[in-house]
Amino acid sequence: MAKQVLPLRLTDRARRAQGMMHATPGLLLILTGLEGLLSGKSHRPWIDGLGILAGLLLVIMLRRELKSKHATHTGVHWYDVIVGCVIILEGAHKLHKNEWFQPSTILMLVGVLMIVIGFFHHKLESLRRLEWDDERFCLHLRPLYRFSMKWSDLDSVKLDGTTLILTDKSKRTHSVNLRRIENRGDAENAIEEQMRAGRGPAPTT
């Protein structure tokens, strides 16, 4: 059988939490920019102005995103791009002349990385998935985390609310938290269907 793939979507709560994390640097940059402009001591007032603008755009886009309950990203994820700009501007604020290596340089490099992530966000979203074939199934929940098991190693499975509990032939228990996954029911059903098809034992009730 060819490899089958089920995309996994975040819950509204998880998306809102991500959005609030993105809004934090924007709000901080607005406050920092206003403080610099009002104090009259800023050596780079144009950076303060750009920081305020970037922060306002971030908050506005966040508000629009949170109003959409089932937003999908098939192109550029502008949150990450704006957050990257915010971080770069924050690093530029603290940049010292004639010093090549300093914390501000690292901040600016992180900002560049966030911009790159933003432009390829739609590909990163596709990494969150359940996939299976005749030999094994694999849950990809985060870019750097996945759970994989061969059907032949699976002894039992118990679907407990938002947690998938699997026991292998050596009686070791593995728990996979699907709390942040909106369509976790679809993932559970897919595994159950494969078990009924003879790929593993029937799920425990």
Please give the pLDDT value at position 22: 67
pTM above 0.75, yes or no: no
Task: Kindly indicate the confidence band of residue 200, based on its pLDDT and cuts at 50, 70 and 90.
Answer: low
Give the β-pairing of 173-177 and 4-7. Answer: unpaired
For residue 82, the model assigns a pLDDT of 79
> Residue 200: how many CB atoms within 10 A of its CB?
22
Q: Residue 131: pLDDT band by 50, 70, 90 thresholds?
A: very high
Q: For the chain, what are the domain ranges? A: 4-125, 134-196
Q: How far is CA 196 from CA 3, 55, 138, 148, 182, in A?
A: 18, 52, 18, 19, 24
Q: What is the pLDDT of residues 49-82, one digit of tens each?
A: 877 887 888 778 777 766 665 555 557 877 778 7
Report how far residue 5's alpha carbon sits from residue 135's, in angstroms, rounded to the nearest whole number. 14
pLDDT, tens digit, 9 for 90 and up, residues 35-48: 878 887 767 777 77
The overall average pLDDT reported for the chain is 79
φ, ψ of residue 19 in degrees (nearest 5): -65, -40
Q: Whole-angstrom Cα distance, residue 82 to residue 111?
A: 9
Greater model confidence, 156 or 74: 156
Q: Which tokens in the block code for residue 23? A: 């809004």
d(CA 66, CA 188): 27
